[in-house]
Structure 1
């Protein structure tokens, strides 16, 4: 990026693998350029003059999970203002934060955490999570490493044993509403609601991600969903340029499935006006 005295210089951070493939970040870049900013999309890590930027915005570093500490060390070393900040990224890149949110009184999908190297729980331990459970690595994206199974399925214990050799693991009850109603994602720009998207899995699946056949639809979140999403955000560290709160329906109302403060899809393709909303948030960050 060549410095220009009268233009805000913004770097949007992706991963090497996503350069040229990520559909969302170019939409945000275009919205920023229309507002006079100088923008480049670059992968995190070495090879970029981070000090030349006025602002560095973390967007789609989807390759960080096997190199979390390296990624966080990079974030902590960026000399320019970083959004979201490094301490927020550290907190959010380990899903153990769900246990913290629950302790703070936020309605969360019941979550049990097993640390790497611990003895593998037995079937009775999983039974306390539910008749059917979902397990996943505590550091993961896109349902990688996730498994849904009956609590007494030997394959579940075997899968968790494999995961625990190198990473922490979460166990949660499987909620039938995920297959019937899907998840609702509420998107925030500087803690103000931008829009919401309903994500419904393909028939016979429980994963709502598009790569598994999930379908996204822009929706109006109901008041209960907004209340829980705001409560979750209020319990998270800040400041936050962007946030996405993923909700599922429990027996007594919405529950937080995840809070994405690191590399959330913002669904700018599904809701194009949001590119302008987030561009304005970026320009107002400093």
Structure 2
């Protein structure tokens, strides 16, 4: 039986994870799964493949994380997703390249300056909005993400690092954020994530709620169109988007590194993931 590593982190306490739902389907297809923290010093060549799954602390030391992935890829092991895709996706400036290729994205500024009262006013004018969202270009789970209408001292934490500025998309509060999941380029399932009352963050960590949905043709076409702009087809991809003030989908993020895949919201999702993995890594 071949071995596949689900790359993870040292401590997943408090997280709801459903990657285990894929272990049975993979075993039935001749693959033994082991979950290993990405910082562990092991011989990665003992595996036939490594799938990046829950290394949800990588954003604290992204250089070390990339170095580990390079070591894995250099050992001759199949890495999913590829090191090339991870390097491209690790910083949210990838949104610029997708926008340049015609993908509708949330308008974004990547400042070279520090956060200060004057800058907040300028960014609001430029984006024609009363509320801004500021966050690091390398982040996870809404860490150091702020919704503001004016300068506050807490924003100073962003100074000295690369960050981005976006208008607050009102549909997040009125409708929510959609996530489409694709395995090897094939649509699998979709969910709608909504923030708790009084918050703007849709993550479950902050009280957000999820539900399974069936995307309409426009949503599905948008997600497929985003993936078509990639140089290669990833094993897994999550397309996160909201609707703008014209009710058109606009990309929030394209998650290609360690997205939660929410297998539990679709009874066929884990099976589809395992099938596509095996098709790409035939015994």
Same fold (TM over 0.5): yes
Report if aligned partners of 2:171, 2:243 keep a CA contact under 8 Å in 1: yes
2:131 is aligned to 132
Residue among 71, 79, 84 paired with 1:82: 79
How well do the aligned residues superpose, as a CA RMSD in angstroms? 1.7
Secondary structure, in 3 states, of the residue corresponding to 1:269?
helix
Residue among 240, 250, 253 paired with 1:258: 253
Matches within 5 A, 1:1-286: 7-18=1-12, 23-78=17-72, 79=75, 80-115=77-112, 118-120=113-115, 122-127=119-124, 128-129=126-127, 130-150=129-149, 153-155=150-152, 158-165=153-160, 167-252=161-246, 253-286=248-281
Q: Which runs of 4+ in 1 moved over 4 A?
A: 19-22
Secondary structure, in 3 states, of the residue corresponding to 2:264?
coil
Report if aligned partners of 2:177, 2:241 keep a CA contact under 8 Å in 1: yes
User: Structure 1 residues 201 and 271 mapped into 2: Cα distance closer, same or farther (>3 Å)?
Assistant: same
Select between 45-54 and 77-86 the one with higher mean Cα deviation. Answer: 45-54
**Alpha-carbon distance, 1:225 to partner:** 1.2
Supply the distance in 1 between the matched residues of 2:120 and 2:52 (Cα, whole angstroms). 40
Report if aligned partners of 1:135, 1:148 keep a CA contact under 8 Å in 2: yes
Report if aligned partners of 2:240, 2:252 keep a CA contact under 8 Å in 1: yes
Structure 2: unaligned runs, 5 residues or longer: none
Select between 179-188 and 119-128 the one with higher mean Cα deviation. Answer: 119-128
**Alpha-carbon distance, 1:21 to partner:** 5.6
Secondary structure, in 3 states, of the residue corresponding to 1:114?
coil
Structure 1: unaligned runs, 5 residues or longer: 1-6
Secondary structure, in 3 states, of the residue corresponding to 1:112?
coil
Residues 43-89 of structure 1, C-alpha deviations (whole Å, 9 max, x = no match): 11342221011111101110100110110111111120100011111
Supply the distance in 2 between the matched residues of 1:16 and 1:28 (Cα, whole angstroms). 20
